[in-house]
Structure 1
Amino acid sequence: MADIRVLIVDDSILIRKMLTQVLEAAPGIEVVGTASDPLIARDKIKQLNPDVLTLDVEMPRMNGIQFLSNLMRLRPMPVVMVSTLTEAGAPVTLEALEIGAIDYIAKPQIDSEKALESFSRQLVDKVKMAAGARVRPLQTSHQVRFSPQPLAAMADFKRWVVLGASTGGTEAIKAVLSRIPAQCPPILITQHIPAVFSASFAQRLNQTVEPEVLEACDGLEVRPGRVIIAHGDNHLTFRRDGQTVRCVLSAAAPVNRHRPSVEVMFDAITAVRPAQQLVAVMLTGMGMDGAAAMKRLHQSGTLTIAQDEASSVVWGMPRAVVEMAAADKVVALEKVAGEIITMTQL
């Protein structure tokens, strides 16, 4: 198999050198070139035909977002954003994912050999994953607000919804929720996302979909009409408070290398809600986080949905569910909301 050809785009010579060294040291990856700004990158893409691009946001002559938008419209290709992950910068990175970037990684604060090793491992994994991911050409339709499907009266809800996602998940979740009406069952979501992103992600969704969308916090009530997004650095678990169910944030160790972990949320929900009164959904993502727990839910009476391969950016987590025979339905992304609406009334 041919090596993955990577073009690095960053205005910092130090970052370009570091990324080159990390990627060149990995088997199966070749850095075919670097560029200090998007205009140079545009020419090098034509010359070198890379498989994957790493892209900074803040650059001279043209910012990374404008360049990404042009790229995804004219020559769609896998892009991994390498940027400073701050709360202030979160909306920009989320916008990059909305435009079509596959994934993102924080520019490293290299203060130890362990930190460099962790960054290197993540970068290599993300570049290899991006090379095999499905790229979405940029269309104006990504801003279209879909009409939610009709739902029975709230009294007819028989099941709550728990949903997991990772790579490609921010846009997949948005696509699902855009088809869900304001009067919906409780929807609980774990998306693999940094702590500085989860609040911005919830706020962006809350502004564009009909249900209320909130970032999880200790004591937040789980109730109809509310979508809760797991906090970026805490597992999402639950407790009963009389007749009310509330969120509990857990800083326990990562599970399947993730915190928040889909596995943890899927297991935790049965402490406050019978499995027979749940719908579990697995959307696009790399790895297997949540698949084993979804199998346990399925065996206990939970109705389950997995996103299909053709509509997934990365068919890892849904594939694991399918291979474990834990999915009642395997459907395209645009059909997930309809299945949720049907299943919550069964």
Structure 2
Amino acid sequence: MKPIRVLVVDDSATMRRLITMRLRSDLRIEVVGEASDAAEARAAISSLSPDVLTLDVEMPGQSGLDFLRELMRLRPLPVVMVSSETQKGSAAAIEALCRGAVECVGKPRMGEAANAFADLPTLVVGASSANLRKRGPAPAGPIAMPARPFRWNNKIVLIGSSTGGVDALETIISGMPANCPPMLITQHMPASFLASFAQRMNMRYAPHVVLAENNAPIVQGTIQLAPGGDHHLAMMPGLRPRAALIASEKVSSHRPSVDVLFDSALGMAERIVAAILTGMGADGALGMLNLRRAGATCLAQDEASSVVWGMPRMAWCNGGAEKLVPLNGMAAELLAATERGLRGSRTP
């Protein structure tokens, strides 16, 4: 197998050196060049034809975000964004993920150089197989969801996603009315980025989108995101189910883990509609199989619309998912399964 050719773009020589050293430690990867700004990056892309770009969010001159928009519009290329985990940096990284970047990784803090970018080689390898598309101009501001009658049938939506998931989740949330079914979401991403993602979704779309808190009620109209960090997101089943944050080791190589979320709902599976979206690996596939066997409705994103058809593929191949759904139809499918009187929406 040919090595994955990577171009490192960062205005800091120190960061370029750290990124290059980490990537060169993986035999699957070849760093073919470096660039310190957007102009150098354009020239390097033209001459070197890299497979993947690592791109600094904040650069002098044309910012990494503006350069990404241009790249996705003219010559889509798998991009892993590199960002500080400050509020400003993480907000910019989330904007980048919503505009077509495949993954994001945080810059090391003071004293963390020895373990800097430990996950970057895995992210780059996953990004190299991403299914990309050209992007038009981004919407200028919040999107108003047209009013539609929706009568909730008491079912709860659980979603798991990873690589490419931020863009996919935004597509789904943008299609939800203010009184949407309650939703719990586990997205693989550093905690600081998840906070910015929740804030962005809450500001732009009709539902109330928040980071999940321990013992928070699971209620209609509210979408709760796993906060990540040291905790998994789970459900506490019951007549009035609540969210739970579990401090424990990684499960299925992740924290937060989709398998943890899905398995926590087995006690009320007939009230669950589960979906697995784009992502690398197999997290959530076994949990979805368990849910389906217990009576839940289980969906997976189809290959054509997935950035990486890893997690959905595993859920489909092991029998956990009963239906493949294109991303542009997922919101409607989830609403149909949780609306009173429609197909697949029997009230428990």
Within-5 A mapping of 1:1-346:
1-109=1-109, 111=111, 115-116=115-116, 119-120=117-118, 122-140=119-137, 145=143, 147=145, 150=148, 152-154=150-152, 157-233=153-229, 234-239=231-236, 243-271=239-267, 274-345=268-339, 346=345
- Structure 2's unaligned 5+ residue stretches are 340-344
Amino acid at match of 2:129: G
Whole-angstrom distance in 1 between the partners of 2:158 and 2:214: 18
Q: TM-score, normalised by structure 2?
A: 0.91
Task: Please say which of residues 210-219 and 308-317 is displaced more in the overlay.
Answer: 210-219
Whole-angstrom distance in 2 between the partners of 1:160 and 1:128: 34
Whole-angstrom distance in 2 between the partners of 1:235 and 1:260: 4
CA change 1:45–1:240 in 2 (3 A) is closer
Q: Secondary structure at the match of 1:306?
A: strand
Query: How many positions carry a matched residue from both structures?
Result: 338
- Structure 1's unaligned 5+ residue stretches are none
Amino acid at match of 2:208: E
Whole-angstrom distance in 2 between the partners of 1:149 and 1:249: 33
Whole-angstrom distance in 2 between the partners of 1:298 and 1:132: 29
Amino acid at match of 1:57: V
Residue aligning to 2:342? none
Q: CA RMSD in A?
A: 2.1
Q: TM-score, normalised by structure 1?
A: 0.91
Amino acid at match of 2:162: S
Contact 1:9 1:55 in 2 (8 A): yes
Whole-angstrom distance in 1 between the partners of 2:270 and 2:179: 21
Instruction: Please state how far the C-alpha of 1:82 moved relative to its aligned partner.
Output: 1.6
Instruction: Please state how far the C-alpha of 1:150 moved relative to its aligned partner.
Output: 4.3
Instruction: Please state how far the C-alpha of 1:244 moved relative to its aligned partner.
Output: 2.8
Whole-angstrom distance in 2 between the partners of 1:140 and 1:99: 9
Whole-angstrom distance in 2 between the partners of 1:146 and 1:43: 40
Instruction: Please state how far the C-alpha of 1:23 moved relative to its aligned partner.
Output: 2.0
Instruction: Please state how far the C-alpha of 1:221 moved relative to its aligned partner.
Output: 1.4
Task: Please say which of residues 76-85 and 145-154 is displaced more in the overlay.
Answer: 145-154
Instruction: Please state how far the C-alpha of 1:28 moved relative to its aligned partner.
Output: 2.7
Instruction: Please state how far the C-alpha of 1:163 moved relative to its aligned partner.
Output: 0.7
Contact 2:145 2:205 in 1 (8 A): no
Amino acid at match of 2:191: A
Instruction: Please state how far the C-alpha of 1:101 moved relative to its aligned partner.
Output: 0.8
Contact 1:148 1:179 in 2 (8 A): no
Contact 2:160 2:284 in 1 (8 A): yes
Percent of pairs with identical residues: 44
CA change 1:148–1:235 in 2 (3 A) is farther
Whole-angstrom distance in 1 between the partners of 2:183 and 2:149: 14
Whole-angstrom distance in 2 between the partners of 1:108 and 1:135: 28
Task: Please say which of residues 103-112 and 207-216 is displaced more in the overlay.
Answer: 103-112
Q: Secondary structure at the match of 2:88?
A: coil
Whole-angstrom distance in 2 between the partners of 1:153 and 1:321: 29
Whole-angstrom distance in 2 between the partners of 1:335 and 1:163: 15
CA change 1:328–1:150 in 2 (3 A) is farther
